[in-house]
Amino acid sequence: MKERLEKIKARYEELTHLLSDPSVISNQDKFRELSKEHNELSAVVRAYDELLNMEKSLKDTREVADSTDEADLRHLARQETVDLESKIAQKEESIKSLLIPRDPNDGKDVILEIRSGTGGEEAALFAADLYRMYTRLADNRGWKAEVLDFNETGIGGFKEVVLGISGKDVYGNLKYESGVHRVQRVPATEASGRIHTSAASVVVLPEAEDVEVNINPDELRIDVYRAGGHGGQNVNKVETAIRITHIPTGIVVQCQDERSQFKNKQKAMKILRARLYDQMVRERDSEIAAKRKTMVRSGDRSDKIRTYNFPQNRVTDHRINYTIYDLHAVLDGSLDELLEQLKLAERGALLETSQK
């Protein structure tokens, strides 16, 4: 590990020098690229410097313990030696975590898709609850959430709703949300008061840039139609809704939220680009699918990941067997505790895998 850390520190110092070079400063793309790398290495270098200082202090303390004739001073030095050894071990574990490669998509914005599953109208109402949960989380985090497409039911639920969420490290936080979410409660539509189980699926896609996904316009079929649902006379009577079919893959996206056909097309292309990018990444990573199964984020989106149980006021994440007894707070956007536990679990799994 020391050899690797020395190489990282040397690269960090090289980057520090390059970022003061006028030729680099004048090239904004290059400067931005090197600044990003410099920033990513800074935490590792800072932790490594702290480790080196601790090791130097340990060496000096041991020398005092071995050389002094004063019993009190020798006792204090030995106590400090034990303390420093413990701190060094902790720092080494911390550095190992920092050395785990960061997911290159973590800093990206996302396309978040929620679809009602088994359970009829109750599933659609639960999809609306999840929509509210994620928009509240976005508000709490200072992110921007924008509806890209939706398909409502008559009683306030969603058959499907697609959000674009932008901000700092959105994908790095929401990537754990993909999968089947299950709710257990007495539906508002149930007269007998029996507890029903319904489900909705969530898919979180990192938003792709144009340079990452090459879309040939000749391979697209674009249909224009009148929007349905709520939205006012203009939305419903003018052909502003857009449906785009990517012919080679059969992927179909649509958007009807905006009054402008052009804006709806822009949003639909954003969704299509994200889905194509996700497909490309999945195909590229298929050879490590078995390894993914050991991690928090399973490659199978049909996995049941979480249960929201109203009678017991609990939310349980089945991947890490973690339960919170404050369901209404979670549905009100208080997901920080769950997300942090999921991050810790995946970090531990990645660390274990990297050491094999």
Q: Is residue 212 part of a domain?
A: no
DSSP result, 62-130: HHHHHH---HHHHHHHHHHHHHHHHHHHHHHHHHHHHTSPPPTTTTS-EEEEEEE-TTHHHHHHHHHHH
246 forms bridges with which residues in the sheet? 220, 251
Q: Which segments of 99-238 does DSSP mark as H helices, in order?
A: 120-141, 170-174, 233-237
Q: Is residue 223 part of a domain?
A: yes
Same domain, yes or no, for 179 and 280?
no
- Tokens linked to 225: 């139609």
DSSP result, 1-37: -HHHHHHHHHHHHHHHHHTT-HHHHT-HHHHHHHHHH
Of the three residues 68, 98, 128, the one that is the final residue of a domain is: 98
- pLDDT for res 36: 85
Same domain, yes or no, for 57 and 201?
no
| 209 and 309 Cβ atoms separated by less than 8 Å | no
Dist CA 41 CA 30 (whole Å): 17
Domain span at residue 222 reads: 217-284
Of the three residues 284, 307, 337, the one that is the final residue of a domain is: 284
Mean pLDDT, residues 289-297 taken together: 46
- Tokens 């006379």 sit at which residue? 233
Q: Is the pLDDT of residue 134 over 90?
A: yes
Of the three residues 236, 267, 284, the one that is the final residue of a domain is: 284
| 243 and 151 Cβ atoms separated by less than 8 Å | no
Same domain, yes or no, for 237 and 263?
yes
Same domain, yes or no, for 28 and 177?
no
Same domain, yes or no, for 267 and 294?
no
Q: Is residue 301 part of a domain?
A: yes
Same domain, yes or no, for 280 and 294?
no
Q: Is the pLDDT of residue 166 over 80?
A: yes
Same domain, yes or no, for 115 and 237?
no
Q: Is residue 104 part of a domain?
A: no
Among residues 90, 96, 130, 94, the alpha carbon closest in space to that of 113 is found at 130
Same domain, yes or no, for 12 and 94?
yes
Same domain, yes or no, for 115 and 203?
yes
C-alpha pair distances (Å), 77 with each of 37, 52, 90, 306: 41, 19, 20, 51
Same domain, yes or no, for 177 and 308?
yes
Q: Is the pLDDT of residue 86 over 80?
A: yes
Give the CATH number, domain containing residue 260: 3.30.160.20
Q: Is the pLDDT of residue 138 over 90?
A: yes
Mean pLDDT, residues 64-87 taken together: 89
| 292 and 298 Cβ atoms separated by less than 8 Å | yes
Q: Is residue 105 part of a domain?
A: no
Please count the residues of the chain.
Answer: 356
Q: Is residue 44 part of a domain?
A: yes
Q: Which of 176-180, 252-256, 285-289 has the lowest mean pLDDT?
A: 285-289
Q: Is the pLDDT of residue 105 over 70?
A: yes
Phi, psi of 235 (to 5 degrees): -65, -40
Dist CA 222 CA 268 (whole Å): 10
For the whole prediction, is pTM greater than 0.75?
no
Considering the chain, what is the average pLDDT of its residues? 85
Q: Which of 46-50, 210-214, 346-350 has the lowest mean pLDDT?
A: 210-214
- pLDDT for res 158: 93
| 290 and 168 Cβ atoms separated by less than 8 Å | no
What is the amino acid identity at position 243?
A: R
Among residues 115, 177, 111, 167, the alpha carbon closest in space to that of 139 is found at 167
User: pLDDT tens, 209-266?
Assistant: 765 777 888 888 988 887 665 444 444 455 778 888 999 888 888 888 767 788 888 8
Q: Which of 95-104, 115-124, 290-299 has the lowest mean pLDDT?
A: 290-299
Q: Is the pLDDT of residue 290 over 50?
A: no
Q: Which of 12-16, 214-218, 233-237, 315-319 has the lowest mean pLDDT?
A: 233-237
Q: How many domains does the chain have?
A: 3
Q: Is residue 334 part of a domain?
A: yes
